[in-house]
Amino acid sequence: MKSRDLYLSMVGIDDNILAKASRYSEKRKIIKFNKRLSFVACICMILLATATAAAAIHHFWGRGMSGMLRSTDAQQQELTEQGQAIVYPELEDYSSYQVTDQGITIAPDTVVVDDRFAYVSFKVSGFEITEHEEPGADVDYYLGDDKESTNSWVNGSSYFFDGTMIDDNGMAIYTDGSPLESDENGFFGHYLDENGDLEYVIQIQAVDGLSEILGNTLHVDFTALGVYGGKADFSSRVDGNWSFELELPNVSSSQTITVNKDIPDTDCTLTSIDISPVSISVTYKINGVEKQSKDAKGLSEALGGVIDGVTGENVQDDDITGLPEVSGFVLKDGTRMPYVADAGSDGYTDDSREYGVCTRGFDRVVDISQIKSILFWPDDSGNCELVEVEIQ
Protein backbone atom coordinates (compact mmCIF):
# COMPACT_ATOMS: atom_id res chain seq x y z
CA MET A 1 0.00 0.00 0.00
CA LYS A 2 1.29 3.42 -0.90
CA SER A 3 1.77 5.92 1.92
CA ARG A 4 -0.88 8.09 0.24
CA ASP A 5 -3.43 5.28 0.37
CA LEU A 6 -2.61 4.57 4.00
CA TYR A 7 -2.95 8.26 4.78
CA LEU A 8 -6.41 8.42 3.16
CA SER A 9 -7.61 5.24 4.77
CA MET A 10 -7.10 6.84 8.16
CA VAL A 11 -9.00 10.08 7.49
CA GLY A 12 -11.99 10.45 9.78
CA ILE A 13 -11.00 7.55 12.05
CA ASP A 14 -10.38 8.27 15.70
CA ASP A 15 -6.65 8.51 16.39
CA ASN A 16 -6.74 6.08 19.32
CA ILE A 17 -8.69 3.50 17.33
CA LEU A 18 -6.16 3.74 14.51
CA ALA A 19 -3.22 3.33 16.81
CA LYS A 20 -4.66 0.26 18.47
CA ALA A 21 -6.13 -1.32 15.34
CA SER A 22 -2.81 -1.75 13.57
CA ARG A 23 -0.39 -1.10 16.44
CA TYR A 24 1.04 1.64 14.52
CA SER A 25 -1.67 2.31 12.32
CA GLU A 26 0.48 4.86 15.11
CA LYS A 27 14.91 33.16 38.16
CA ARG A 28 15.52 36.26 37.82
CA LYS A 29 19.13 37.41 38.32
CA ILE A 30 19.61 40.38 40.68
CA ILE A 31 22.75 42.45 40.25
CA LYS A 32 23.77 44.80 43.06
CA PHE A 33 26.29 47.59 42.72
CA ASN A 34 28.23 49.00 45.65
CA LYS A 35 29.54 52.14 44.00
CA ARG A 36 28.43 54.78 41.60
CA LEU A 37 28.78 54.14 37.91
CA SER A 38 29.42 56.63 35.19
CA PHE A 39 26.42 57.77 33.09
CA VAL A 40 27.57 55.70 30.13
CA ALA A 41 28.12 52.68 32.33
CA CYS A 42 24.62 53.08 33.75
CA ILE A 43 23.16 53.06 30.25
CA CYS A 44 25.08 49.90 29.46
CA MET A 45 23.88 48.17 32.61
CA ILE A 46 20.27 49.18 31.96
CA LEU A 47 20.51 47.67 28.50
CA LEU A 48 22.07 44.53 29.96
CA ALA A 49 19.37 44.23 32.59
CA THR A 50 16.67 44.69 29.95
CA ALA A 51 18.20 42.00 27.78
CA THR A 52 18.45 39.67 30.79
CA ALA A 53 14.79 40.20 31.66
CA ALA A 54 13.73 39.60 28.05
CA ALA A 55 15.81 36.44 27.86
CA ALA A 56 14.09 35.16 31.01
CA ILE A 57 10.75 35.18 29.15
CA HIS A 58 11.71 32.61 26.54
CA HIS A 59 8.53 30.87 25.46
CA PHE A 60 8.63 27.09 25.14
CA TRP A 61 5.49 25.27 24.05
CA GLY A 62 6.31 22.04 25.80
CA ARG A 63 6.96 18.58 24.46
CA GLY A 64 3.39 17.72 23.53
CA MET A 65 2.54 20.92 21.66
CA SER A 66 5.95 21.00 19.98
CA GLY A 67 5.26 17.47 18.74
CA MET A 68 1.64 17.91 17.67
CA LEU A 69 2.29 21.32 16.07
CA ARG A 70 5.91 21.27 14.97
CA SER A 71 7.56 24.69 15.09
CA THR A 72 10.85 26.49 15.27
CA ASP A 73 11.95 28.39 18.34
CA ALA A 74 11.42 31.66 16.45
CA GLN A 75 7.85 30.67 15.52
CA GLN A 76 7.03 29.83 19.13
CA GLN A 77 8.32 33.23 20.26
CA GLU A 78 6.43 35.09 17.54
CA LEU A 79 3.01 33.49 17.99
CA THR A 80 3.23 33.73 21.78
CA GLU A 81 4.26 37.40 21.68
CA GLN A 82 1.40 38.09 19.26
CA GLY A 83 -1.09 36.60 21.71
CA GLN A 84 -2.05 33.70 19.47
CA ALA A 85 -0.50 31.24 21.93
CA ILE A 86 -0.50 30.95 25.73
CA VAL A 87 2.20 29.13 27.69
CA TYR A 88 0.57 28.44 31.04
CA PRO A 89 3.70 27.64 33.12
CA GLU A 90 4.78 31.25 32.44
CA LEU A 91 1.69 32.68 34.14
CA GLU A 92 1.98 34.08 37.65
CA ASP A 93 -1.15 32.20 38.71
CA TYR A 94 -0.12 28.95 37.04
CA SER A 95 -0.62 26.99 40.28
CA SER A 96 -4.33 27.85 40.15
CA TYR A 97 -4.64 25.88 36.91
CA GLN A 98 -3.14 22.71 38.37
CA VAL A 99 -5.68 20.11 39.47
CA THR A 100 -4.64 17.17 41.67
CA ASP A 101 -6.85 14.15 42.33
CA GLN A 102 -5.91 10.62 43.33
CA GLY A 103 -2.28 11.73 43.57
CA ILE A 104 -2.21 12.71 39.89
CA THR A 105 -1.76 16.32 38.78
CA ILE A 106 -2.99 17.59 35.43
CA ALA A 107 -2.41 21.14 34.21
CA PRO A 108 -2.71 22.98 30.90
CA ASP A 109 0.65 23.57 29.27
CA THR A 110 0.16 25.39 25.94
CA VAL A 111 -2.72 26.66 23.81
CA VAL A 112 -2.41 27.83 20.19
CA VAL A 113 -5.42 29.11 18.23
CA ASP A 114 -6.67 30.76 15.07
CA ASP A 115 -10.19 31.40 13.73
CA ARG A 116 -10.86 27.72 13.03
CA PHE A 117 -8.75 25.53 15.32
CA ALA A 118 -7.47 25.30 18.86
CA TYR A 119 -4.47 23.16 19.76
CA VAL A 120 -4.23 22.38 23.49
CA SER A 121 -1.72 20.39 25.53
CA PHE A 122 -1.84 19.23 29.16
CA LYS A 123 0.93 17.89 31.37
CA VAL A 124 0.03 14.80 33.39
CA SER A 125 2.23 14.04 36.42
CA GLY A 126 2.01 11.10 38.81
CA PHE A 127 0.31 8.62 36.47
CA GLU A 128 2.66 5.68 36.12
CA ILE A 129 2.92 3.41 33.11
CA THR A 130 5.58 0.99 31.98
CA GLU A 131 7.82 1.85 29.05
CA HIS A 132 5.79 -0.05 26.45
CA GLU A 133 2.27 0.61 27.74
CA GLU A 134 0.00 2.93 25.82
CA PRO A 135 -1.85 5.44 28.02
CA GLY A 136 -5.35 6.70 27.40
CA ALA A 137 -7.99 8.86 29.03
CA ASP A 138 -11.71 9.42 29.28
CA VAL A 139 -12.02 13.11 28.43
CA ASP A 140 -14.80 15.42 27.31
CA TYR A 141 -14.44 18.92 25.87
CA TYR A 142 -16.76 21.61 24.57
CA LEU A 143 -16.91 25.35 23.92
CA GLY A 144 -18.91 27.96 25.84
CA ASP A 145 -20.84 27.59 29.08
CA ASP A 146 -23.82 25.56 27.89
CA LYS A 147 -22.81 22.01 27.10
CA GLU A 148 -26.25 21.22 25.68
CA SER A 149 -26.22 24.12 23.22
CA THR A 150 -25.25 23.59 19.58
CA ASN A 151 -22.84 26.50 20.10
CA SER A 152 -20.72 24.15 22.19
CA TRP A 153 -20.19 21.63 19.41
CA VAL A 154 -16.70 20.93 18.11
CA ASN A 155 -14.90 18.45 15.88
CA GLY A 156 -11.90 17.13 17.71
CA SER A 157 -9.32 14.45 18.35
CA SER A 158 -7.19 13.84 21.40
CA TYR A 159 -4.51 11.44 22.61
CA PHE A 160 -1.41 11.11 24.76
CA PHE A 161 1.53 12.40 22.75
CA ASP A 162 3.61 9.39 21.70
CA GLY A 163 6.80 11.08 20.52
CA THR A 164 6.13 10.52 16.80
CA MET A 165 5.51 12.73 13.78
CA ILE A 166 4.87 12.35 10.04
CA ASP A 167 7.88 13.07 7.83
CA ASP A 168 7.82 14.62 4.36
CA ASN A 169 7.41 11.17 2.82
CA GLY A 170 4.17 10.67 4.71
CA MET A 171 5.67 8.07 7.05
CA ALA A 172 5.80 8.01 10.85
CA ILE A 173 9.10 8.52 12.66
CA TYR A 174 10.13 9.62 16.14
CA THR A 175 10.50 13.37 16.65
CA ASP A 176 14.28 12.99 16.87
CA GLY A 177 14.26 11.62 13.30
CA SER A 178 14.88 7.99 14.21
CA PRO A 179 12.75 5.15 12.80
CA LEU A 180 9.98 3.55 14.85
CA GLU A 181 10.87 0.62 17.08
CA SER A 182 8.45 -2.27 17.34
CA ASP A 183 7.87 -5.87 18.29
CA GLU A 184 5.21 -8.39 17.31
CA ASN A 185 2.54 -6.27 19.05
CA GLY A 186 3.32 -3.06 17.20
CA PHE A 187 5.41 0.08 17.55
CA PHE A 188 6.68 1.58 20.81
CA GLY A 189 5.46 5.07 21.64
CA HIS A 190 7.77 7.45 23.49
CA TYR A 191 5.12 8.69 25.92
CA LEU A 192 7.22 9.53 28.97
CA ASP A 193 9.53 12.53 29.20
CA GLU A 194 12.78 12.58 31.17
CA ASN A 195 10.82 13.25 34.38
CA GLY A 196 8.33 10.45 33.83
CA ASP A 197 5.54 12.86 32.92
CA LEU A 198 3.04 12.54 30.06
CA GLU A 199 1.44 15.11 27.79
CA TYR A 200 -2.13 14.93 26.53
CA VAL A 201 -2.90 16.85 23.34
CA ILE A 202 -6.22 17.97 21.85
CA GLN A 203 -6.99 19.42 18.42
CA ILE A 204 -10.38 21.14 18.17
CA GLN A 205 -12.12 22.55 15.11
CA ALA A 206 -15.08 24.91 15.44
CA VAL A 207 -18.27 23.81 13.69
CA ASP A 208 -18.92 26.36 10.96
CA GLY A 209 -21.99 28.47 11.70
CA LEU A 210 -22.37 27.09 15.23
CA SER A 211 -19.30 27.49 17.41
CA GLU A 212 -16.37 29.90 17.57
CA ILE A 213 -12.81 29.51 18.78
CA LEU A 214 -11.46 33.03 19.35
CA GLY A 215 -12.13 34.43 22.81
CA ASN A 216 -14.33 31.49 23.76
CA THR A 217 -14.16 29.34 26.89
CA LEU A 218 -12.94 25.77 26.43
CA HIS A 219 -14.10 23.22 28.99
CA VAL A 220 -12.01 20.07 29.35
CA ASP A 221 -13.00 17.32 31.79
CA PHE A 222 -10.82 14.27 32.48
CA THR A 223 -12.64 11.51 34.38
CA ALA A 224 -10.35 8.49 34.03
CA LEU A 225 -6.78 7.58 33.15
CA GLY A 226 -5.74 4.13 32.00
CA VAL A 227 -4.06 2.11 29.28
CA TYR A 228 -5.03 0.39 26.03
CA GLY A 229 -4.79 -3.36 25.75
CA GLY A 230 -3.82 -5.47 22.78
CA LYS A 231 -7.30 -5.27 21.21
CA ALA A 232 -7.68 -1.51 21.50
CA ASP A 233 -9.74 -1.87 24.67
CA PHE A 234 -9.34 0.99 27.15
CA SER A 235 -8.86 -0.12 30.74
CA SER A 236 -9.29 2.55 33.40
CA ARG A 237 -6.77 2.50 36.23
CA VAL A 238 -7.54 5.75 38.02
CA ASP A 239 -10.94 7.46 38.18
CA GLY A 240 -11.07 11.08 39.24
CA ASN A 241 -12.13 14.57 38.33
CA TRP A 242 -9.75 16.96 36.62
CA SER A 243 -11.79 19.83 35.16
CA PHE A 244 -10.61 22.98 33.41
CA GLU A 245 -12.07 26.20 32.05
CA LEU A 246 -9.61 27.84 29.68
CA GLU A 247 -10.14 31.27 28.16
CA LEU A 248 -8.88 30.94 24.60
CA PRO A 249 -6.88 33.75 22.94
CA ASN A 250 -8.84 36.17 20.77
CA VAL A 251 -6.00 36.79 18.34
CA SER A 252 -5.62 35.32 14.86
CA SER A 253 -3.19 36.08 12.05
CA SER A 254 -5.27 34.67 9.19
CA GLN A 255 -4.92 36.13 5.71
CA THR A 256 -7.37 35.90 2.81
CA ILE A 257 -5.86 35.46 -0.66
CA THR A 258 -7.91 35.61 -3.88
CA VAL A 259 -6.67 33.01 -6.38
CA ASN A 260 -9.23 32.19 -9.12
CA LYS A 261 -7.17 29.44 -10.77
CA ASP A 262 -8.25 26.02 -12.01
CA ILE A 263 -7.07 23.01 -10.05
CA PRO A 264 -5.43 20.50 -12.44
CA ASP A 265 -7.21 17.18 -13.00
CA THR A 266 -10.45 18.49 -11.50
CA ASP A 267 -13.57 20.39 -12.53
CA CYS A 268 -12.95 22.95 -9.78
CA THR A 269 -11.59 26.50 -9.65
CA LEU A 270 -9.77 27.57 -6.52
CA THR A 271 -11.44 30.91 -5.81
CA SER A 272 -9.82 31.93 -2.54
CA ILE A 273 -7.99 30.72 0.54
CA ASP A 274 -8.02 31.85 4.15
CA ILE A 275 -4.77 30.79 5.77
CA SER A 276 -3.04 31.22 9.11
CA PRO A 277 0.23 29.73 10.39
CA VAL A 278 -1.72 26.75 11.80
CA SER A 279 -4.63 26.05 9.42
CA ILE A 280 -6.22 26.74 6.05
CA SER A 281 -9.68 26.95 4.52
CA VAL A 282 -10.01 26.89 0.73
CA THR A 283 -13.10 27.64 -1.37
CA TYR A 284 -13.82 26.05 -4.76
CA LYS A 285 -16.19 26.89 -7.56
CA ILE A 286 -17.40 23.68 -9.14
CA ASN A 287 -17.52 23.82 -12.93
CA GLY A 288 -20.10 21.21 -13.88
CA VAL A 289 -22.12 20.42 -10.78
CA GLU A 290 -23.86 17.39 -12.30
CA LYS A 291 -20.58 15.77 -13.35
CA GLN A 292 -19.04 16.43 -9.95
CA SER A 293 -22.00 14.81 -8.23
CA LYS A 294 -21.73 11.74 -10.47
CA ASP A 295 -17.99 11.53 -9.80
CA ALA A 296 -18.61 11.63 -6.06
CA LYS A 297 -21.23 8.89 -6.32
CA GLY A 298 -18.85 6.78 -8.38
CA LEU A 299 -16.09 7.20 -5.84
CA SER A 300 -18.42 6.27 -3.01
CA GLU A 301 -19.54 3.11 -4.81
CA ALA A 302 -15.96 2.18 -5.68
CA LEU A 303 -14.99 2.53 -2.02
CA GLY A 304 -17.92 0.46 -0.83
CA GLY A 305 -20.40 3.17 0.13
CA VAL A 306 -22.14 2.98 3.50
CA ILE A 307 -25.05 0.92 4.85
CA ASP A 308 -28.27 2.83 5.56
CA GLY A 309 -29.15 2.18 9.19
CA VAL A 310 -32.89 2.01 8.40
CA THR A 311 -33.18 0.23 5.06
CA GLY A 312 -29.96 -1.76 5.20
CA GLU A 313 -29.17 -0.68 1.65
CA ASN A 314 -25.74 0.33 0.40
CA VAL A 315 -25.97 4.07 -0.26
CA GLN A 316 -23.61 6.88 -1.20
CA ASP A 317 -21.26 7.96 1.58
CA ASP A 318 -21.77 11.72 1.93
CA ASP A 319 -18.22 11.98 3.28
CA ILE A 320 -17.02 11.08 -0.24
CA THR A 321 -17.42 14.42 -1.99
CA GLY A 322 -15.04 13.98 -4.92
CA LEU A 323 -13.72 17.44 -4.08
CA PRO A 324 -10.01 18.29 -4.03
CA GLU A 325 -8.25 18.05 -0.69
CA VAL A 326 -5.44 20.25 0.60
CA SER A 327 -2.32 18.23 1.34
CA GLY A 328 0.66 20.59 1.61
CA PHE A 329 2.73 23.35 0.06
CA VAL A 330 5.63 24.29 -2.16
CA LEU A 331 7.75 27.11 -0.76
CA LYS A 332 9.28 29.95 -2.76
CA ASP A 333 12.73 28.36 -2.43
CA GLY A 334 11.43 25.16 -4.05
CA THR A 335 11.05 23.15 -0.83
CA ARG A 336 8.14 20.72 -1.03
CA MET A 337 6.07 20.08 2.08
CA PRO A 338 3.53 17.53 0.82
CA TYR A 339 2.14 16.26 4.14
CA VAL A 340 1.26 19.32 6.23
CA ALA A 341 -2.55 19.06 6.27
CA ASP A 342 -3.97 17.24 9.27
CA ALA A 343 -7.56 16.71 10.43
CA GLY A 344 -10.37 18.91 9.14
CA SER A 345 -13.58 18.92 7.14
CA ASP A 346 -14.88 19.00 3.56
CA GLY A 347 -18.20 19.73 1.95
CA TYR A 348 -20.43 22.00 -0.08
CA THR A 349 -21.46 25.48 0.99
CA ASP A 350 -25.14 24.90 0.12
CA ASP A 351 -27.55 22.48 -1.58
CA SER A 352 -26.75 23.84 -5.05
CA ARG A 353 -23.30 22.25 -4.79
CA GLU A 354 -21.86 25.08 -6.84
CA TYR A 355 -19.20 25.83 -4.24
CA GLY A 356 -17.16 23.58 -2.00
CA VAL A 357 -14.85 24.16 0.93
CA CYS A 358 -11.95 22.21 2.42
CA THR A 359 -10.64 23.10 5.89
CA ARG A 360 -7.53 21.58 7.41
CA GLY A 361 -5.43 22.05 10.51
CA PHE A 362 -1.67 21.73 10.13
CA ASP A 363 0.83 19.42 11.77
CA ARG A 364 3.34 22.29 11.97
CA VAL A 365 3.51 26.08 12.01
CA VAL A 366 3.82 27.48 8.49
CA ASP A 367 5.38 30.77 7.35
CA ILE A 368 2.65 32.12 5.08
CA SER A 369 4.96 34.62 3.41
CA GLN A 370 7.12 31.80 2.06
CA ILE A 371 4.34 29.78 0.40
CA LYS A 372 4.38 29.71 -3.39
CA SER A 373 1.84 26.97 -4.16
CA ILE A 374 -0.71 24.68 -2.57
CA LEU A 375 -0.56 20.93 -3.17
CA PHE A 376 -3.90 19.15 -3.63
CA TRP A 377 -5.17 15.63 -3.99
CA PRO A 378 -7.52 16.09 -6.99
CA ASP A 379 -10.20 14.03 -5.21
CA ASP A 380 -10.62 11.98 -2.07
CA SER A 381 -10.48 8.56 -3.73
CA GLY A 382 -6.84 7.84 -2.93
CA ASN A 383 -6.04 6.81 -6.50
CA CYS A 384 -4.42 10.05 -7.70
CA GLU A 385 -1.25 12.10 -7.62
CA LEU A 386 -0.66 15.50 -6.07
CA VAL A 387 -1.32 18.58 -8.21
CA GLU A 388 -0.06 22.15 -7.65
CA VAL A 389 -1.77 25.55 -7.75
CA GLU A 390 0.36 28.67 -7.44
CA ILE A 391 -1.14 31.31 -5.11
CA GLN A 392 1.54 34.00 -4.83
What are the tens digits of pLDDT across the range 274-321? 999 999 999 999 997 544 444 544 444 544 444 444 444 544 445 555
Of the candidates 320, 340, 335, the one whose C-alpha atom is nearest the C-alpha of residue 383 is: 320
In a domain, residue 38? The reply is no
Shared-domain flag, residues 290 and 218: no
Task: Considering only residues 9 and 368, tell me which one the structure prediction assigns the higher pLDDT.
Answer: 368
In a domain, residue 49? The reply is no
123: CATH = 2.60.40.1630
Given 228, 247, 266, the domain boundary residue is 247
Given 247, 282, 304, the domain boundary residue is 247
pTM of the model: 0.79
Shared-domain flag, residues 281 and 239: no
DSSP per-residue codes, 268-308: EEEEEEEE-SSEEEEEEEES-HHHHHHHHHHHHHHTT-EE-
Shared-domain flag, residues 19 and 144: yes
Phi, psi of 106 (to 5 degrees): -120, 140
Q: Is 53 exposed, middle or buried (0-12, 13-18, 19+ CB in 10 A)?
A: exposed
**Given this model, what pLDDT does residue 340 score?**
95
Shared-domain flag, residues 210 and 277: no
Mean pLDDT, residues 168-180: 88
Q: How many CB atoms lie within 10 A of CB 382?
A: 18
**Domain tally, the chain:** 2
Shared-domain flag, residues 236 and 165: yes
Of the candidates 330, 345, 325, the one whose C-alpha atom is nearest the C-alpha of residue 284 is: 325
The answer, yes or no, to whether residue 329 has pLDDT greater than 80, is yes
Beta-carbon contacts of residue 19 (< 8 Å; ≥ 6 apart):
25, 26, 134, 159, 162, 228
The answer, yes or no, to whether residue 29 has pLDDT greater than 50, is no
Shared-domain flag, residues 65 and 119: yes
Shared-domain flag, residues 225 and 305: no
Which amino acid, residue 388? E
Shared-domain flag, residues 89 and 153: yes
Shared-domain flag, residues 299 and 229: no
**Angle at the Cα of 82 from the Cα atoms of 77 and 87, rounded to 5 degrees:** 55
pLDDT digits (tens, 9 = 90+) for 182-214: 877 778 899 999 999 999 999 999 998 888 999
Which amino acid, residue 37? L
d(CA 376, CA 324): 6
In a domain, residue 40? The reply is no
Q: In this structure, are residues 365 and 278 in contact, taking their beta carbons and an 8 Å threshold?
A: yes
Shared-domain flag, residues 240 and 221: yes
Task: Considering only residues 209 and 122, tell me which one the structure prediction assigns the higher pLDDT.
Answer: 122
In a domain, residue 30? The reply is no
In a domain, residue 50? The reply is no
In a domain, residue 382? The reply is yes
Q: Which domain does 115 fall in, by range?
A: 3-25+61-247
Shared-domain flag, residues 96 and 243: yes
Alpha helices in 204-363 (DSSP H): 289-302
Given 197, 231, 247, the domain boundary residue is 247
pLDDT digits (tens, 9 = 90+) for 33-77: 223 333 333 334 444 444 444 445 789 999 999 999 999 999 999
In a domain, residue 171? The reply is yes
d(CA 297, CA 289): 12
Q: Is 390 exposed, middle or buried (0-12, 13-18, 19+ CB in 10 A)?
A: exposed
Of the candidates 21, 10, 12, 325, the one whose C-alpha atom is nearest the C-alpha of residue 171 is: 10
In a domain, residue 51? The reply is no
Shared-domain flag, residues 116 and 259: no
